[in-house]
């Protein structure tokens, strides 16, 4: 992890919140070690407490924190002064393997059908040929992790698409039911065919 010289005011609010949360987590681990508690067990407990929690500053993002990650970050924190800025992320030099066209195709893919989860949608999307364009070799998909996809397209946004799809399905079901109901009502009121018009015969006075 690269450390940055950016000040807290120069980074996004969710990153500053992340630093504070990780700092508190490491302080808890440090206090537990000083009390003589087992470090690994306590780290697991703290990781569960913070993992998958939404950021207040950006509810679309969630904290991803496993016990292994927290242990690694705890060492980084100790090595870099035991301050929140020890977790500073240098996103300016990040070179993502994923590209905008790939994520746009995934958004379109997610807006066309429903899935039980974003992870299942990503797995199905990744298995399809041609989704990643350049980079495919031996007819195998270019591997991009689900975590990377979720970083650039948070699960909360995926669920918004899925909610709209569900509403569309419900509206279509309602429309279909109303159409059949109204048609059935018309059938009871009107005949299938219009009655033939009777033509009045003219009188013939020929002898």
pLDDT exceeds 90 at position 10 = no
- Is residue 126 within 8 Å of 141, Cβ to Cβ? yes
Asked whether residue 7 carries a pLDDT value surpassing 80, the answer given is: no
pLDDT at 40: 86
Instruction: Using pLDDT thresholds of 50, 70 and 90, give the confidence band for residue 60.
Output: confident
Q: What is the mean pLDDT of residues 57-62?
A: 89
Report residue 101 as tokens: 């066209």
pLDDT of residue 114 exceeding 50: yes
pLDDT tens for residues 115-172? 999 999 999 998 876 665 444 444 555 577 888 888 888 888 999 999 999 999 999 9
Nearest to 79 by CA among 156, 1, 148: 1
Give 3-state DSSP helix, strand, coil % of the chain, rounded to 5. Answer: 60, 5, 35
Cβ–Cβ under 8 Å, residues 77 and 1: no
Predicted pLDDT at 162? 95
Work out the pLDDT band at 11, boundaries 50, 70, 90.
Answer: confident
Coil, helix or strand at residue 137:
strand
Question: Phi and psi (nearest 5°) for 171?
Answer: -65, -40
> Can you list the positions of beta strands (E) in the chain?
54-55, 58-62
Where does residue 49 fall: left (phi above 0), alpha (psi -120 to 50 degrees), or beta otherwise? alpha
What is the pLDDT, as a whole number, of residue 96? 66
C-alpha 145/C-alpha 126 separation (Å) is 9
Chain segment 157-206, per-residue pLDDT in tens: 999 999 999 999 999 999 999 999 999 999 999 888 888 777 666 666 56
Q: Residue 201 carries which DSSP code?
A: P
Report the C-alpha gap between 20 and 84 in whole angstroms. Answer: 6
| SS3 (DSSP) at 63 | coil
Give the pLDDT of residue 17: 92
Which tokens hold the place of 161?
């698409």
Q: Where are the beta strands (DSSP E) in 49-205?
A: 54-55, 58-62
* Mean pLDDT of the region 51-62: 90
With a CB cutoff of 8 Å and minimum separation 6, the contacts of 167 are none
Backbone angles phi, psi at 9, to 5 degrees: -70, -15
pLDDT band at 3 (very low <50, low <70, confident <90, very high): very low
CB within 8 Å of 142: residues ≥ 6 apart: 132, 133, 134, 135, 136
Give the pLDDT score at 134: 44
What confidence tens digit (pLDDT) does each residue in 64-112 have? 899 999 999 999 998 888 899 888 876 444 566 788 899 999 999 999 9
């Amino acid at each position: 992890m690269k450390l940055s010289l950016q000040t807290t005011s120069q980074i996004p609010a969710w990153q500053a919140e992340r630093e504070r949360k990780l700092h508190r987590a490491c302080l808890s681990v440090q206090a537990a070690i000083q009390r003589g508690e087992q470090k690994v067990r306590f780290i697991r407990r703290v990781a569960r407490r913070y993992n998958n929690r939404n950021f207040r500053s950006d509810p679309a993002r969630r904290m991803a924190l496993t016990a292994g990650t927290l242990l690694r970050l705890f060492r980084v924190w100790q090595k870099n002064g035991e301050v929140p800025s020890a977790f500073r992320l240098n996103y300016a030099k990040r070179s993502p393997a994923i590209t905008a066209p790939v994520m746009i195709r995934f958004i379109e893919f997610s807006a066309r059908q429903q899935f039980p989860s974003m992870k299942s949608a990503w797995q199905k999307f990744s298995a399809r040929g041609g989704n990643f364009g350049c980079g495919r070799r031996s007819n195998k998909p270019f591997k991009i992790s689900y975590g990377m996809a979720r970083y650039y397209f948070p699960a909360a946004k995926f669920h918004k698409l899925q909610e709209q799809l569900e509403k569309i399905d419900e509206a279509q079901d309602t429309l279909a039911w109303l159409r059949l109901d109204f048609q059935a009502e018309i059938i009871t009121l009107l005949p299938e065919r219009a009655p033939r018009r009777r033509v009045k015969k003219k009188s013939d006075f020929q002898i």
